Amino acid sequence: MSTPSDRLRASVERLVGSLFPYRYHLVWRYVVQSATPGPPFSIVATPVSPMVPPQTIPLSLDSSGCLCVPSVGSTITVGFREGNGTLPYVVDLGPYSAEALPTAVYLGGAPGPLIARLGDAVTVPALTVTVPSGGGTVPVVVGGTGTTIAATITGSSKVVQSR
């Protein structure tokens, strides 16, 4: 049962919404409440502002060709295709923080291969190192940082790009 304050709030929101018909042409901050494992992947998010409703947002590939699943509790930016409130999409995963890191990143979309993130455990049963033409050595540091190697990784469901 709604209270008088609930009815007043709903009336004010309708009034403000009618005065601001282009609200879906903007981007809004939302907080992720849950993520549905897929495929298809989607999230349920509630807006920071009362100007837009809560949304179930389907996840799609970003401009890098990856699909990122945001973590529950993170603040994301949501836009609406063609200004249509029924066509939400994730613009970005918000400001960087350890809590805002995605829970999974898929290369080429799901169910494509997962991308290993810094700190993820990765099992590589076989490592083939290609020595540069003309011979020479390739430094390989196990557990170290800052050294890159030219390598082909096979037999793993996760592929790591050296930096």
Residue 162 scores a pLDDT above 80: no
47-97: pLDDT as tens digits: 998 888 899 999 988 887 888 889 899 999 999 999 888 999 999 887 777
- pLDDT at position 159 is 46
- pLDDT at position 3 is 83
- pLDDT at position 123 is 63
Kindly report whether the global pTM for this prediction surpasses the value 0.85: no
Cβ contact 82:88 at 8 Å:
no
Domain extents in the chain: 4-112, 116-163
Amino acid sitting at position 131 = V
- pLDDT at position 34 is 94
What number of other Cβ atoms are within 10 A of residue 68's Cβ? 21
Q: Where are the alpha helices (DSSP H) in the chain?
A: 4-19
Cβ contact 91:130 at 8 Å:
no
Kindly state the greatest CA–CA separation across the chain: 82
- pLDDT at position 155 is 44
Residue 153 scores a pLDDT above 70: no
As a whole number of angstroms, the distance between CA 3 and CA 69 comes to: 37
- pLDDT at position 137 is 52
- pLDDT at position 149 is 45
Q: What percent of the chain stands above pLDDT 90?
A: 22
What is the average per-residue pLDDT within 127-146?
53
- pLDDT at position 2 is 73
3-53: pLDDT as tens digits: 888 888 888 777 766 666 678 888 999 999 999 877 788 999 999 988 888
